[in-house]
Amino acid sequence: MEHHSAAERVLYLVGRALVRIVYRVTPMGRETLPAGGFLLLPNHISFVDAIVLQLASPRPIRFIIDSFYYRNRFLHPVLRLAGCIPISPRRAKDAMREAAEKIRAGEIVCLFPEGQLSRSGTLLRLRRGYEIIARQADAPVVPVWLDQLWGSIFSFQGGRFFKKWPQSLPYHVQVAFGQPIHADAADTATLREELLKLGEQCYSQRPLLQEHLAAACLRGLKRRPFRTLVIDGLDNTTLSAGKLLGVATALARHLTQRRDETRIGIVLPPGKGGVVANVAVVLSGKIPVNLNFTSSREAIRSAQEQAGLKTIISARPMAKRLENFPWTENVIHLDELLPAMKPSIICWWLLCLILPRPVLAGLLHVPKKGDREEAVLLFTSGSSGAPKGVPLTHRNLLGNVSQFAILLDLEPEELIVASLPLFHSFGCTVTLWYPVIEGVRIVTYPSPLEAAKIAAMVERYKATVMFATPTFLRAYLRKAEPHQLQSLRLMITGAEKLPFDIAKAFEARFGTPVYEGYGLTETSPVVSVNLPDPPPGKPDDLVQPSSRLGSTGKMAPGIAAEIRDPDTDEKLSLHDTGMLWLRGPNIFDGYLHDPVRSAEVLRDSWFKTGDLARFDEDGFLYIEGRLSRFSKIAGEMVPHEMVESKIITALQLDGETERVITVMSVTDESKGEALVLLSTVEIDLPQLRAALREAEVPNLWVPRTIRRVEKIPVLASGKLDLGKCKELATA
């Protein structure tokens, strides 16, 4: 039975009544709570977590609290009256013993297993002390997730505690109680997995995911209509948020006349035209399809047929450059159409400035709800075959933009370099929809390959954030001067594994560390990213790491993960290496017109990434490699990327400025597969074998043959072109 004093009960009732004025708490999963005593383990986001938990719980909770706060002369009378259990490093055993006694007496005892408030909004390392309490009490532990408190005035969002305006009043918070876990099974990997699943469950119910992408664009562009949003790095012209909305609205009205077309193709590089075209198509209630104009004619034709495209938006200079492009019957050239629409553009621009957002949304027939309807259609790069259509829903894009916004936490004055192609998911979400919806400024350049010109642009406009791929970093190392990239505060890479030597060389040359992230087209794309560590609150506070060398960072909020056996799909611990499965609002619903392939990768809303991965104790995700970049030789898994790195080190090759080698596999009758080394430099096979033997590289990892090639094929996104590499390896 629970034993609470009359004073504790009065405080409990008065506290609930007061807090209810500010917070609206929606509890989930209360029906699964055990009837007797148990240990409650929540994430720790704000200074009011305990009060919110108490509001959500059907029974009073006794909290274990740091003795530093317990002894505070202002807090002590209330905390003592509330029956809190003080804990300090010196007297930890006494506190644990008391907590176990209270649980055995039938009470709910709560411990924050992270031991400190999160300064980044992500889950920190879980400390093991809770395991001792649960075993001593012989009672279950219950994970619980507090959602939407990150951003409240009592959290460290924006690096500020309390010094910010409340986002809303009353403040809506969700609290999700998980299934009880037996004390013996509640290790840190299991607890982290369950907490992330509860976080995903809460995030997936956020109202913003129901919205329509067009409504989010309207809100983003109406927020600061006179502020410059797009700087075109090619001709140095600018576009304010209000003007962008005016031009896009006028073009959207023109596109609505094409009633029988649900999707519109776009063939434009990053720039004012590309942004306007995408926003206009979305505002017209249609689906933009940014086509990969660097693909083969057959791949482009395949994408057009799959999407059922009849109209493409482009520009005359672009059409002249793409001589062999298979254009559809209707092509709209923006540089010809928009000047003729000037009166209409001015009219809509003024209306967009004057009319309140709900009136404008009604006038433009912007749907209130988008949710699981298709919002944009992308095609995978075809790095391992024909392009696959990946429809991303409104829920996917709005979810990923909000996840990314929480992770990055950028100030409005930041300036993002937007040079990644719009047909690439990274360029589409991160340097197109994210800036439009969140109102972050961008400076565009049509090609990420022109490193010298982009470096000059960064210097001219003092850009602060850049997204790239390791291939593009090599170009900066060759062509950019150190002083040109001085203004960069954040350099994030994705699309392929970041080689350590490139990251080291880039930081040495430009003084800016490179942070690696991870994502896939099917995940809209951002899954995880390394970021600078948040500054500690006090000089003696422990630094909460937000980056770790070799990892792809911590996962974005609202994503759950499982590690499963690649062959049997049996569930493993998060700390084991296996196939990475993900669930979250940013996960797509299936490939276009391909139920068979969709069923191979989607199961009960879980997505099989095709990547082998593991998590460490702090929640950092390590991608060990794509399954397609492993070979099974004599029953053993051989990682191609690891072999490449060993060869570069053993032969002291210059892998910093360009990609000189890659490892592929071909079928082999005796061992299943054999390795082939593609190289742009002359390599002697006996010399290579000797060097690898000296470096203690296993025999199975040594390539059987070497093929000299002119250059290693890469895609426009900077990723390895696995299809072309395979052709060279088998030729």
Mean pLDDT of 37-53: 89
Per the rule left: phi > 0, alpha: psi between -120 and 50, beta: everything else, 228 is: beta
Alpha carbon 361 to chain centroid, angstroms: 29
Q: How confident is the model at residue 382 (pLDDT cuts 50, 70, 90)?
A: low
pLDDT tens digits, one per residue of 519-557: 999 999 999 999 998 877 666 667 789 999 999 999 999
- Cα dihedral 508, 510, 511, 513 sign: negative
SS3 for 83-123, per residue? CCEEECCCCHHHHHHHHHHHHHCCCEEECCCCCCCCCCCCC
Distance CA 254, CA 488 (A): 40
Give the domain ranges of the chain.
6-203, 205-413, 634-730
What type of residue is 117?
L
> 586 with 428: CB under 8 angstroms?
no
Q: What is the pTM of this model?
A: 0.88
Q: Kindly tell me if the per-residue pLDDT of 160 is higher than 60.
A: no
pLDDT tens digits, one per residue of 196-235: 999 999 999 999 999 999 999 999 999 999 999 999 999 9
Backbone angles phi, psi at 636, to 5 degrees: -110, 140
Q: Kindly tell me if the per-residue pLDDT of 559 is higher than 90.
A: yes
The tokens describing 351, both together, are: 């209306």
Is 364 or 93 the better-scoring residue by pLDDT? 364
Identify the CATH homologous superfamily for domain 634-730. ANL, C-terminal domain (3.30.300.30)
What CATH code would you report for 6-203? 3.40.1130.10
Q: Give the CA distances from residue 261 to residues 272, 331, 373, 396, 476, in Å, rounded to whole numbers and listed in that order.
A: 24, 14, 16, 23, 42
Neighbours of 336 (CB within 10 A): 10
Residues 156-161: contacts with CB under 8 Å, at least 24 apart: 156/117, 156/118, 156/119, 156/120, 156/534, 156/537, 157/121, 157/409, 158/409, 159/119, 159/534, 159/535, 161/47, 161/537
CA angle (554 as vertex; 116, 229 as ends), nearest 5: 105
Distance CA 118, CA 406 (A): 13
Mean pLDDT of 255-259: 88
**Topology of domain 205-413, per CATH?**
Rossmann fold (3.40.50)
Is 507 or 170 the better-scoring residue by pLDDT? 507
Q: Kindly tell me if the per-residue pLDDT of 49 is higher than 60.
A: yes
Distance CA 183, CA 373 (A): 43
Which pLDDT belongs to residue 581? 98
pLDDT tens digits, one per residue of 457-506: 999 999 999 999 888 898 899 999 999 999 999 999 988 888 888 899 99
Neighbours of 200 (CB within 10 A): 25
Q: Kindly tell me if the per-residue pLDDT of 74 is higher than 80.
A: no
Which pLDDT belongs to residue 294? 86
Identify whether 391 is preceded by a cis peptide bond (ω within 30 of 0). no
Range with top average pLDDT, 6-10, 174-178, 623-627: 174-178
Beta bridge mates, 232: 444
Q: Kindly tell me if the per-residue pLDDT of 281 is higher than 80.
A: yes
